Amino acid sequence: MRGPLALDTLVESLPQLMDGLKYTLGLTAFGIILGTSLGVLLAVGRSYGTRILSIIIMIYEKVIRGIPLLVLFFLIYFGLPQIGINFDAFTAAILGLGLRSSAYQAQIYRGAINSIPEGQINAAYALGMSKFKAIRYIILPQVLRLSIPGWSNEFTILLKDTSLAFGIGVIELMRQARYIQVRDPDLVLIVFLFIALIYFILVFSANKTLRYVEKRYQMAGYQSEVHR
Amino acid sequence: MTTDFAQFFIDSSPDLINGLGYTLLLTFISIAAGFFLGILLALGRVYGNKIINGLCVGYIEIIRGTPLLVQLFIIYFGLPAIGIIFTPIQAALIGLSINSGAYQAEYLRGAIQSVEAGQMTAARSLGMNKLQSIRHVVLPQALRIAIPSWSNEFIYLLQYSSIAYIIQVTELTAEGKFIAAHTFRYLEIFTMIAIIYLVLTIVSSEIIDRIAKRLSIPGVGAAKGIGQRNT
Amino acid sequence: MAMLDVKNIHKSYDDNEILRGVSFTMEKEETKVIIGPSGTGKSTLLRCINQLSPPDAGEVWLDGEEITNPATNINKIREKIGFVFQDFNLFTHLTALRNVSIGLEKVKGMEKETARKRAMDELCRVGLDAQTKQYPAQLSGGQKQRVGIARALAMDPDIILFDEPTSALDPELIGDVLDVMKSLCGKVAMLVVTHEMGFARNVADEIIFMEGGVIVESGPPKEMFTNAKTQRAKEFLGRIGALYGGG
Ligand SMILES: Nc1ncnc2c1ncn2[C@@H]1O[C@H](COP(=O)(O)OP(=O)(O)OP(=O)(O)O)[C@@H](O)[C@H]1O
Ligand SMILES: [Mg+2]
């Protein structure tokens, strides 16, 4: 009988864990791309769109933020097929992660848009810029810079939330760990600790990198407003 | 169709109410336990010596750097390997509290530091000792400032307690999954569950908002980041 | 035909009629100063001219074109009307140089390098050769406002509207900005809302005294300062002269 810290067998399961890691990273990448693009659109739509559009977006944000991610996963993966819409587990997880993140990211961008003084857009108009150009060249660049800390936050949340894709059977890190546990129960503690370590390294390095980006693009005299 | 749905809802409600009970139990106990843990950690970070501060930072960073699900798995599946065994509900309560403590510590620390400097000096120059200053001057202000983040944290726990389903706690989501497995009416049941969470989320943030207004003192502002949620 | 013709402008916010029929004209390269008590609608008038706040009634004509007509492309018109703001409104995320060149690039469609050179020239003109790489937060108020002026100038406008360009500045910084404005006199038309009586007296071709949403009296500085016809203008000029000095 091996002890609970059997390192040699852990090494044997490494390839399997790396397989899971690939899915974890894939979910993170696609999820954040969906969440960010949708989030920016939602924020711009809510701030600059018609009244109706902005009400619709507000409701979307409130509803999505009110539903736990796991329930959202279940709705998409188990619920939608009932009305003929089928996704594989991986796609369903990306949709769930992206939709939920978009609702939170929209808030960040909207907050940033609101924090930009009206004088900025007036000055852009006074130069002869159209609304589109003013948003594109004056507002958005500032909004995105101001949003880096909030975005970093969302990124790490999403990274950790990919673990919930376990609940609909995506073979990501957690699922692989469970497979290993079932096959080799002695390994359970060490495998989960190891998984924790992997996540920790991912979150830690993401934070460090993003903090660097934040510093790099910080507008002079503008302390980013959000600090963890 | 609608009456059918209503009937289904009525049939399911005893199970759902049962699950809701567990969800609320998990939420309330862990937010309270997490609060005490969080205050200790926050005070440790602001006022502790190097070693205490280091330990608190380590704890907070490790917990916030790993997913809640991993923490639950370690507690529920992992610890039995070294002879520590919990029931699902115990494991979930412990996991959620440990987790919430780390997040609550961070915003309590932020709040403490935002009032700390000038107020502490003023309290000390009145002749209060450090503990009295913290207790009577710093904390009453810091806790008020922390209320908006606290509202975030409550909703976080309300929603993320659904993860306990994965370690077989029969909370709301688990009951839904159970009913669905028998009736195959996934869409209806998860829509119901989603609505329940949505209502709980909206109602609880409204209530906490009211509490914040009641407790508010002019000039003691709630410093909330832009659209932040807990990491 | 006057270059700028403002005809009977009316503007209300909610139930408050702020402008109650304002008319005046400006010739090429003329300098006019608008004075009047706070809340009288001076800023509102300027914003009606470049349509940042479109008037409810009345017309504005620039170079024979009715710019209040909804069919005109207002962005094209605004290129020809520079605006200098009381609180500068420099683009926070851009250096002084880029603040001046962005309009040239994105609105006039100029090559990046040409725009940069032109921006450089304008910054030299306002005495900021050394600050081109600085961000707004790294500039003093007076420097910010001079960038604001350079930004407007670079677009080659027919007229520049100044809304209290020096009133957000510390007294010792006002001089630099006024000097720049004086140097523009006779090169481009300027319509300036200001309390700087020295500037009004020495530089303006005409002073317009506004109160309660209408022009109460206007005339050459000499006349206005020595024998204004209306009692209100006399009082106001007397009071403001004592406050801001005759210079
Ligand atoms: N966007 C707006 N919405 C509602 N009211 C406005 C708006 N802009 C200006 N006002 C009102 O119009 C009136 C005139 O304002 P305006 O800024 O034109 O005055 P002003 O003559 O420039 O005064 P000051 O010398 O203080 O700058 C004020 O009473 C102001 O409250
Ligand atoms: Mg004004």
Q: For chain B, list the contacting chains (3+ Cβ pairs, <8 Å).
A: A
CATH level 2 (architecture), domain B2-215: Orthogonal Bundle (1.10)
How many domains in chain C?
Answer: 1
**Chain B interface mutation, best of A47, A71, A193, A199, highest count of B Cβ atoms under 10 Å:** A71
Which of A11-20, A215-224, C38-47, C105-114 has the weakest average pLDDT?
Answer: A215-224
Asked if residue A135 has pLDDT above 60, the reply is: yes
Starting from the CA of residue C39, give the closest ligand. Answer: 1
CB A91 within 8 A of CB A127: no
**What residue ranges do the domains of chain B occupy?**
2-215
Closest alpha carbon within chain A to C152: A127
Tokens encoding B19 = 């699950």
CB within 6 Å of ligand 1 — which residues?
Answer: C 13, 18, 38-44
Q: What is the ipTM of this complex?
A: 0.88
CB within 8 Å: A122 and C77 = no
- Using CB atoms, pick whichever of A119, A142, A220 lies closest to residue C85: A119
> How would you list the strands of the sheet with C65-66, edge to edge?
C16-26, C4-13, C57-62, C65-66
DSSP chain B: -HHHHHHHHHHHHHHHHHHHHHHHHHHHHHHHHHHHHHHHHHHHHHHS-HHHHHHHHHHHHHHHTS-HHHHHHIIIIIGGGGT----HHHHHHHHHHHHHHHHHHHHHHHHHHHHHHHHHHHHHHTT--HHHHIIIIIHHHHHHHHHHHHHHHHHHHHHHGGGGGGGT---HHHHHHHHHHHH--HHHHHHHHHHHHHHHHHHHHHHHHHHHHHH--TT------TT----
What's the pLDDT tens digit per position in A197-206?
Answer: 999 999 999 9
Q: What is the mean pLDDT of chain A?
A: 90
Half-sphere exposure at residue B214, Cβ-oriented, CA atoms within 13 angstroms: 6
Q: What is the DSSP letter of C191?
A: E
Q: Using one digit for the tens of pLDDT, what is the confidence trace for B63-111?
A: 999 999 999 999 999 999 899 999 999 999 999 999 999 999 999 999 9
Measured between beta carbons, the chain A residues lying within 8 angstroms of B106 are 228
* A188 with B78: Cβ contact below 8 A: yes
Report the alpha-carbon distance of residue B62 to residue A198 in Å, rounded: 11
**Which atom of ligand 1 lies at the shortest distance from residue C41's CA?**
18
pLDDT above 90 (res A27):
yes
pLDDT digits (tens, 9 = 90+) for C98-119: 999 999 999 999 999 999 999 9
Confidence at residue A225, expressed as pLDDT on a 0 to 100 scale: 40
Task: Give domain limits for chain A.
Answer: 2-216
* CATH superfamily placement of domain A2-216: MetI-like (1.10.3720.10)
Q: For residue A226, what pLDDT band results from cuts at 50, 70 and 90?
A: very low
Question: Which residue from C10, C11, C18 has its CB within 8 A of the most atoms of ligand 1, so it is best to mutate?
Answer: C18
How many A from CA of C40 to the centre of ligand 1?
7
Q: How far apart are CA C189 and CA C81, in angstroms?
A: 10
* d(CA A159, ligand 2 centre) in Å: 50
Per-residue pLDDT, averaged over A67-85, amounts to: 95
Hey, whose CA ends up nearest to atom 1 of ligand 1? C13
Residue nearest to atom 6 of ligand 1 (CA): C13
**Whose Cα sits closest to atom 7 in ligand 1?**
C13
Distance CA(B28)–CA(B143), nearest Å, equals 18
- Please list every residue in chain A whose beta carbon sits closer than 8 Å to the beta carbon of residue C77: 128
Q: Does residue B215 sit at the A interface (CB-CB below 8 Å)? A: no
What pTM was estimated for this model as a whole?
0.82
Q: Is the pLDDT of residue B226 over 60?
A: no
Question: Could you say which of C81, C106, C138 has the minimum Cβ distance to residue A137?
Answer: C106
Domain with C142, as residue range(s), is 90-156
| A139-186 per-position pLDDT tens digit | 999 999 999 999 999 999 999 999 999 999 999 998 998 888 888 888
Q: Name the residue facing B226 among A193, A200, A226 (closest C-beta).
A: A226
Least Cα separation, residue C43 to chain A (angstroms):
13
Q: What is the mean pLDDT of residues C167-186?
A: 92
Question: Ligand 1 atom 5: the closest Cα is on which residue?
Answer: C13
Atom of ligand 1 at shortest distance to CA of C42? 21
Query: For position B213, what pLDDT does the model report?
Result: 83
Q: Mean pLDDT for chain C?
A: 93
